[in-house]
Every structure is written in C-alpha cells, then in structure tokens.
Amino acid sequence: MTEQVCYPQVKNIGLRGIPVADTRISVVDGVQGELQYRGFSIEDLAGQATFEEVVYLLFYGKLPSGSQLDFFSNQLRAARALAPEILEILAGRPVTAGPMDVLQGTVPLLADWDPDLGDASRESFQRQALRLTAQLATVLAAWHRIRKGLKPVSPRDDLGHAANFLYMLSGKEPSEHMARTLDICLVLHADHTFNASTFTARQVASSRAHMYASVAAAIGALSGELHGGANTRVMEMIMEIGSVDKVAEYIKARLDAGERIMGMGHAVYKTIDPRAPILLEMSRELCSQTGDQRLLEITEEVCRVTQAEFRTRKDMDIFPNVDFYSGITYSLMGIEPDLFTPMFAISRVAGWCAHVIEERFAEAQEKPALYRPKAEYIGEYCGDRGCTFTPLEERG
Amino acid sequence: MTEQVCYPQVKNIGLRGIPVADTRISVVDGVQGELQYRGFSIEDLAGQATFEEVVYLLFYGKLPSGSQLDFFSNQLRAARALAPEILEILAGRPVTAGPMDVLQGTVPLLADWDPDLGDASRESFQRQALRLTAQLATVLAAWHRIRKGLKPVSPRDDLGHAANFLYMLSGKEPSEHMARTLDICLVLHADHTFNASTFTARQVASSRAHMYASVAAAIGALSGELHGGANTRVMEMIMEIGSVDKVAEYIKARLDAGERIMGMGHAVYKTIDPRAPILLEMSRELCSQTGDQRLLEITEEVCRVTQAEFRTRKDMDIFPNVDFYSGITYSLMGIEPDLFTPMFAISRVAGWCAHVIEERFAEAQEKPALYRPKAEYIGEYCGDRGCTFTPLEERG
C-alpha cells in the first residue's frame, strides 16, 4: 500500500473528515441530511420500528423476524434487574452526584456481575452488549429515585424498554403515547457512526479492553457539553431566556461575545439534522396535549433568530441538531434537564456496543490495530540527551 | 491553510505516525530510543528525581524549587485520604472484581467529593489533578486489602508517595530501597506522549468532559492487553513457562501459531525502550537481595529467544518494552500480577491529568476541536432514502 492519501491538514482539526476505519453499522450523509442504520433510513426506523428492533438491527446487522424479536426482547427483559449490591452502592453516593458520573462509575460495577466477562468471543460480547443495554436504563432510573429519596422501582417484564424505563423512573405505568414518544427518542439516538463517544469506545476496545471498560469510557466522552452534554445546555439556555420576547437580545449578546448557541450547527450535517424535525414534531404533539406552548415557542424562536443572525453576520446557514429538540421533548415529558444527557446514553449504549463488537471482531483489513496517533512536540528541547537536570538541592 | 499533507494511508493503521495535536509534555524518539518529560531525559529523572518532582514537572512544565516541592508534596499528602463513603462502596464490590474495573468505577466517585468539579478554570483542573493523583493510589491499596479481607490502611502523611502506597498495601513501612524502587517505577510510567490511554483522556476532555470523566476513560484504555494490560500478561507467561529450559519450546510454539510475545516490540520504539534497561537493572538488584533468580532468568531467556527467533524468522530486530520488565520488578517486590496494570495507572494518572490540562487550556492553534474522525461506510446501502423497510408483521 504505497498509494498516497492527502489532506489539507490533519493536525489540530480533530480528525474531521479523516477516515480511520471501516464500518457497516451506520452512515451519515451530511450534505443530504440523511442518517441510516444498517441501510435503513432513520425516518423509517423512527416511524415503524421499536428501540428493541433497532438494538437487534445494530447488534446483528439485520431486522429481526417476529420470533427473533420476541426471543431478543425477552432476553433484554430478563437482564433488566440489578444486583442488590449495586443498588446499595448507588445509595452510597451523595445525592449531588452528577448523573453522568453515576452512569460512568456504575458500568464497571455491572462488569463485576457479568458471567461472560472473561470470555472474549463474539457471542460473549453480544451477551454482554445485551445486558449492558438492558441494565443502563435501570441504573439511571434507580439513581434518579435514590437521589430524590425514593425507593428504586424494580423493572417489570411485561413492558417494552421505553415504557419500563418511564415506569421505573416514576413508579407509574406511562400512557402508550408517552412510551412511544420515548421509544422514538431512543431509536433516534441509538447510533451516529464515528461520533466522539463511539470513537472513544472503539479506541478503548482496540486495546482489547472489555465491553464495560469501553462503554464507561464512552460515557465520559458523551458527558462533555460539546457532545451529549449539549441537550442539557440547550434546556438551560431556554429556561434562562424565559420568554419569547427576550430571545433576540439573548442570542445577539451570545454571538457578540463569540459564544456558540448550543444545539445549533453540527460537525457533520451541513443541512438539517434528520433527527431534529422528528423530535420537533413530537414536541408539538406533546404541547398540544399539555396546552403549554411557552418552552417550545422560545425554542423555535431561538432557532429562527440564530439562523437569521448567521445569515446577516456570516452569510451562512446554520441548522438545529438532535440536541436542540431532544431537551424540549424530554422536558414536555416531565423529565428533568440533568437527565437529558444520561437518557442519550441509555440509547447510545446500543450503538457503542455494536461498534465495540465491530472493532473487536471485524476482518483485520477493515479495522486498525490500537489507535495510537502522534503528537507534534513543541515543548522544551535540548537535544537527544535532554536538558541539564539540576538536582533538587542545587535548585534553591 | 491549503497546504496538503500526504500519508501512505490513514485508514486502518490506527493513526500510527499521524500527528493530531501539539504537545509540550513529553517526546519520544523511537529510533534513538529516547524519552523526555518536558525536555528532561527519562534516565536523569529516574536517576535523580522523585515521583512527586515528576508530577510537578508534568503539571507545571518545570522542575520545582525546594520550597515549591515541599508545598506541592504537602498538598498531595493532605489529599490522600478517601471519604469513608468511598471505602464503604469499595467494600460493597465482590472480591472477584477486576482491579482495573475497580479503579475505573471509583474515579467517577472521587468526582462526587471534589469541591472543584463545577469550576472549569485551569487552576481548578490543576487542583483536581493533584487530588486524583494522590487518591488513585489510595483507592488501589484500599481495594487490595478489602479483597483480601483486610481493613484498609489509612495513608500516612510522613511518607513519600511511593513509600506510602507500599505502606497502605501491606500495613508495614517499606525499606528505603523498596520505596525508592517503586518511586523509580512510578517515574518511568508517568507519561509517554500520545499513547492509547492518553489519547483517550484527551479525546474525552476535548468534548469538555471533566477531569475525572477523562481519567476514568483512560483507565479503560489502559486495561487492554495491547496497552497497560501487557505487564500482567508478561508475568502470566513467565509463570506459565515455569523454568528456563522450557522457554525456547514455548516461544517457538507461540510464534508458530502466529501469536505475539507479550512485552516484546513497541508501536514507537524501533530500538530498546529506554525504560526497559532501568527496570532490568532494578530487577537484578532485587534478585541479588532475595537470592531467587528463577523468574528473572526465565524473563531474560524469553527476551534472548524471542530476539533470536525474530532474526531467524523475519530477519528483524525486536526489543523488550517497559511492560517486559515492570512485571518482574513488581513481582520481586512481592506484588501480585493483577496489580501490575493498576500500578501502571497510579503513575500514568499524572500524565493523563497533565494532558487533560493541556487539551483544555492550550492555545487554540495547538489543539483540535473535539476529535471526531470519519469511518468509511462499507455496509448495506440502497441509496439516499435507505433500503425498503418491511414492517415487523410482514417479516414472518
């Protein structure tokens, strides 16, 4: 392979646009605004598939038959409950702990109880992926109740993944509409090719770390405000603005200060993120049910003003991304802002697991060895032998 | 910046040799076999500096004066103790839990108790780095005692970092020689520019995740056998071989099967890893004290046979790396094999923290935005609108 591949630059562009591996899991067309999981459009999946179907699709590469889905869903249901020791450990954390820190800290605990941990076969990784996907939602719901001083609610095995999560969170069985709304949110967030957290998961897996170590790392990456943390930050902004008539002033001041508007713009999409209109439609539906339009009106105004300002200031189009409308959707479902990013995690865990499996078990020519880039050293340099080391006692 | 940068290929080489950011922290010359932290050679640092001095050097960019080091060491000592709740949580894990899983799961817990967590200033990150470096050693020692059914030993504030770790591990104050041996091991492992775990830490930090989230992710990457996990695997191999006369047969069989010999060869060094001879010398010194040469003799024979086989089979030189001799050194100190990789972590945490600080606070032109590479999609594709989605009930 002596063919040269040339890029405008590699250093300091965060690897944008640089292909580092092959994947069969999902594909994004940033210009057309298309997202597909395993060849199926996100619109079809959001419109017609459940989260469980999508998890199966991501893990196994094809849509399940009816009996395959039944079997898989039953396995997911059977894996939901946490060891009592894990609930006790959760109860030992201060109620002020960040929910993302709780998820990241609990995933390595789940490993302690996984009987497949020492088995590095593909089948073992698939079983671990299933347990982790089932249990992360339980961890989040349990933690939320614990921090509110409530007793965790045990999972039910007669509810789908989304409905059961809402049940464990509130102790009440959700309406079919609420359950399907969350189900669609989970479908929308389940994968997005080599985003920052998925790349983190794959990178950790490339050292042959196990599934849980890889996913715990990915949770760390997702927690940042430039990644999954953005949806919480969007909601904080909406709350801070407080009313539609204050939007223009707020956005202009932020842009004047050179700050970014959270949830607007995307690393890959140069047009509208295809997940955004689906979330917007669900928010509108939720608003029409509750009758409270205030937050959605502010949200839509933030989008309009930001787009207008970008056109005026930079002659540039900017579009809302998935984080822009997921917050408002969750908020209208009665969910607190600091759960938005963890709820991203309980869906994306499916994608992370699928990518870890691909990283570990793809053909060698489709994936790299350990990801180990280089840095350009720009620090102190005194030649091969190093700078003169003055012993401590002579340093004064 | 329209200058073109060309590489033989980027995809599927694990980013080897591809520069992704600038750094001032450390530099490796793989051809000369040189490693420098902040311009100082690893030989000078191992010979003349303590771990505390090296941590200061990595965090602040220069060697401390006597009074700066006193102040810094006192802060590290003061930060050693864990909240009693953390000890209780550790006690709640099954004794079979992997020590790397315990470290990864406990780092996000340490965040819960850090008063600086919400402060994203450089000074706050430096304080978090100090606490994390001080406490990770305490977590490991406490966990080791808990899993042995022993009570954790509280840190002492009249001992250096290495001596205190050995004291917390065994409950006995180590000899000066043992303490200095570990101190040198910690110096040798503290940083190594953009290795896989450090790149993971920087990648997580680039999303603006906090210090603890970044370091927990790095621990995941270090746990893999292609990275920090290698030192434990080397020792397992030595134990499995069992005697010098069985080395040749064992190594040949591994190579015949196309397997790698753990601890031999390195992604960056094309000559001997400069840390390896320092570790070898310390192992020899420890052997001469204990009088038991057996394990070291097997280790040295593995190196000789592997090198000879590589010359014969591939006309290629291969050299031992840091992981090849760190296991034997720790083993001669009476430390159990599954603690070797976690002991790598309690040193490398200093480098991870320094890199997280550099990632967050370097000048914008020296570091990228969020690391977000691309993957080449090679999966199912039916055009922009996706493959035909057959609803579940029609799938049979």
Percent of chain B whose predicted confidence (pLDDT) is above 90: 88
- In whole angstroms, give the CA distance from residue A366 to residue A25: 13
pLDDT (0 to 100) of residue A121: 96
Whether B355 and B259 have beta carbons less than 8 Å apart is answered as no
Q: Which of B192, B210, B227, B266 is catalytic?
A: B266
B323 catalytic? Reply is yes
Domain boundaries, chain B: 40-227+348-366, 230-331
CB atoms B12 and A366 under 8 Å = yes
B266 catalytic? Reply is yes
Determine the residue of chain B that is closest to A84 in CA distance. B92
Whether A8 and B7 have beta carbons less than 8 Å apart is answered as no
Determine the residue of chain A that is closest to B118 in CA distance. A98
Whether B150 and B295 have beta carbons less than 8 Å apart is answered as no
- In whole angstroms, give the CA distance from residue B340 to residue B347: 11
Residues of B whose CB is below 8 A from A19: 10-11, 373-376
pLDDT (0 to 100) of residue B368: 75
Q: Which of A88, A80, A91 is nearest to A146 (CA)?
A: A91
Strands A5-7 and B5-7: antiparallel
Task: Estimate to the nearest angstrom the gap between the alpha carbon of A49 and the chain centroid.
Answer: 19
CB atoms A196 and B214 under 8 Å = no
Q: What is the count of residue pairs from A and B with beta carbons less than 8 Å apart?
A: 464
CB atoms B63 and A105 under 8 Å = no
For residue range B68-109, list pLDDT tens digits in order: 999 999 999 999 999 999 999 999 999 999 999 999 999 999
Q: Least CB-CB distance to A199: which of B11, B89, B372?
A: B372
pLDDT (0 to 100) of residue B281: 96
- Whether residue B144 is predicted with pLDDT greater than 90 in this model: the reply is yes
The radius of gyration of chain A from alpha carbons, rounded to an integer in Å, stands at: 23
SS3 B373: coil
- Given a cut of 70, the residues of chain A with pLDDT beneath it are 1-3
The CATH code of the domain at A230-331 is 1.10.230.10
For residue range B283-338, list pLDDT tens digits in order: 999 999 988 899 999 999 999 999 999 999 999 999 999 999 999 999 999 999 99
CB atoms A378 and B23 under 8 Å = yes
Choosing among B101, B103, B113, B266, which should be mutated to test the A contact, i.e. which has the most A CBs within 10 A? B101
Residues of A whose CB is below 8 A from B26: 377
Q: Which of A116, A266, A273, A355 is catalytic?
A: A266
- In whole angstroms, give the CA distance from residue A335 to residue B96: 37
CB atoms B7 and A2 under 8 Å = no
Residue B94: what are its φ and ψ, rounded to 5°? -65, 145
Q: Least CB-CB distance to A376: which of B4, B22, B111?
A: B22
Q: Least CB-CB distance to A392: which of B66, B216, B268?
A: B66
Q: Which amino acid is at A257?
A: A
Residue A12: what are its φ and ψ, rounded to 5°? 70, 15
pLDDT (0 to 100) of residue B13: 84
Residues of B whose CB is below 8 A from A4: 6-8
Determine the residue of chain B that is closest to A26 in CA distance. B377
pLDDT (0 to 100) of residue A247: 97
- In whole angstroms, give the CA distance from residue A324 to residue A319: 9
pLDDT (0 to 100) of residue A17: 85
Whether A194 and B195 have beta carbons less than 8 Å apart is answered as no
* pLDDT classification of B1: cutoffs 50, 70, 90: very low
Residues 28-47 of B with CB under 8 A from A: 29, 32, 34, 36, 38-41, 43-45
Q: Is any Cβ of chain B less than 8 angstroms from the Cβ of A362?
A: no
pLDDT (0 to 100) of residue B396: 72
- In whole angstroms, give the CA distance from residue B349 to residue B213: 12
Q: Do domains A40-227+348-366 and A230-331 have the same CATH topology?
A: no
Q: Which helix (H) or strand (E) holds B341?
A: helix B340-361
Determine the residue of chain A that is closest to B40 in CA distance. A386
Question: Hey, what are B254's tokens?
Answer: 């591994």
Minimal CA separation from A301 to chain B, in Å: 27
Q: Is any Cβ of chain A less than 8 angstroms from the Cβ of B88?
A: yes
Q: Is any Cβ of chain A less than 8 angstroms from the Cβ of B376?
A: yes
Residues 105-164 of B with CB under 8 A from A: 105-109, 111-113, 117
How many CA atoms, within 13 angstroms, populate the side-chain half-sphere of residue B300?
13
Strands A374-377 and B5-7: unpaired
Q: Which of B372, B202, B9 is nearest to A30 (CA)?
A: B372
Q: Which CATH class is domain A40-227+348-366?
A: mainly alpha
Minimal CA separation from B393 to chain A, in Å: 7
Q: Which long-range contacts (CB under 8 A, 24 or more apart) does A276-280 make?
A: A276/A319, A276/A320, A276/A321, A276/A322, A276/A324, A276/A325, A278/A42, A278/A43, A278/A46, A278/A184, A278/A188, A279/A185, A279/A188, A279/A322, A279/A324, A279/A325, A279/A326, A279/A328, A279/A329, A280/A320, A280/A325
DSSP string, B75-140: HHHHT-PPPHHHHHHHHTS-TTS-HHHHHHHHHHHHHHT-TTTT--SHHHHHHHHHHHHHHHHHHH
Q: What is the pLDDT averaged over residues B244-256?
A: 97
Q: Which residues contact B99 (CB under 8 A, 6 or more apart)?
A: B140, B143, B144, B338, B339, B341, B342
Residue whose token pair is 């996100």? A42
Whether B333 and B182 have beta carbons less than 8 Å apart is answered as yes
**Quick one: how many helices (H) and strands (E) in chain B?**
16, 6
Q: Is any Cβ of chain A less than 8 angstroms from the Cβ of B257?
A: no
* pLDDT classification of B6: cutoffs 50, 70, 90: confident
Q: Which of B268, B228, B273, B275 is nearest to B42 (CA)?
A: B275
Q: Is any Cβ of chain B less than 8 angstroms from the Cβ of A231?
A: no
Residues of B whose CB is below 8 A from A48: 389, 391-392
For residue range B22-41, list pLDDT tens digits in order: 999 999 999 999 999 999 99
- In whole angstroms, give the CA distance from residue A58 to residue A64: 11
